[in-house]
Amino acid sequence: MSGDVMPLAGQRILVTGASSGIGAATACLLGKLGAIVGVHYNKNYEGAKATCTKIKDMGARAELFQADLINPDGRWLLIHGVIKTFGGLNALVNNAGGLSSPREFNTLSHQDWIEVFELNVFAPAHLCQYVFAYMKKQKGGRIVNISSIGVKYGGSPTSLHYAAAKSALETMTLGLAKAGARHNILVNAIRPGFIMTPMNQDMTREECDKRVAMIPLHRSGKPEDIAEMIAYLLSPAASFITGQIFTVSGGD
C-alpha cells in the first residue's frame, strides 16, 4: 500500500509483539498510513521503543504498552490501557506468538502444550473477547490474527504443537467472523510463509537455504510482505472481507 495516501488516518490500532519482526514492520507501516499505533511488547523494551520512535519520526502517534500475554490479567490490562489512552480502539493485530519449546512429539510434556497454547491461542482469544465487546458498542472494528504456514503442513518434527495451536487460532478466526458480521466486526487471519524474523535466527545457513529451496519464488519473505497484507485488511478496500485465511508465502 502506498504511503502517499492515508487510508488509515485516525484509526486506533493495537499491534501485539511489535518490538521486532512482523510486528515492528506492521506497526511502522500502519503509522505511515496515518494510524494511531499501540506498540505492544513484553520484554524487548529497546526494540519496542525503536519501533515507536520510527513511527513518531513519520509524524504519526504511537504509544508503548507492556504486557506479559502469558498472564491472563495482563491481557485485560493491555486492552483497558490502550482504550483508555487512545479513547477507543478500531483494530487489533494479534501478532504476538512463537515457539519457546521446539521438541519431538514423543518428548513433549503437558507443560510444553500448555505454554504454546497459552501464547498462541488463549492470549489472542482473550484479547479478541475484550475488544469484541468494545467493538460491538462502537458498531464495527477489525481483527487480524497471525497464523503460520505450519498449519498447512502440520508443522515440522519439532513444532507439531505450535502448528496445532495456530490451527486452533484459524478456527477461532472463522467463528469470530461469523459472530462479528452482524456488528460489522471483520475478522481475518494471515498464514505467513518462511519469513526472516528473529524467530528463525537460530537456523544455520544450510537450513535456511534448504527451506528457501521449497519456495516457488525462491526467496524468503520479509516482515514487510506480511505488513502490507495486514494493512490491506485493515483498510477501507477490505470492507467486504471477513472469515478468510490468507497465505502469504511466495507460493509455498
Between the CA atoms of 87, 238, 245 and 70, what dihedral angle is there, to the nearest 10 degrees?
Answer: -10
User: Is 153 in the active site?
Assistant: no
Q: Residue 149 and residue 246: Cα distance in Å, rounded? A: 10
Q: Residue 61 and residue 74: Cα distance in Å, rounded? A: 23
Selection from 164, 157, 145 nearest residue 243 by Cα? 145
Selection from 243, 246, 191, 252 nearest residue 217 by Cα? 252
DSSP code of residue 238: G
3-state secondary structure 70-131: CCHHHHHHHHHHHHHHHCCCCEEEECCCCCCCCCCHHHCCHHHHHHHHHHHHHHHHHHHHHH
Q: Residue 100 and residue 119: Cα distance in Å, rounded? A: 10
User: Of the listed 41, 45, 162, 232, which one is catalytic?
Assistant: 162
Contact between residue 27 and residue 62 where contact means Cβ atoms under 8 Å apart: yes
Enzyme catalytic residues: 162
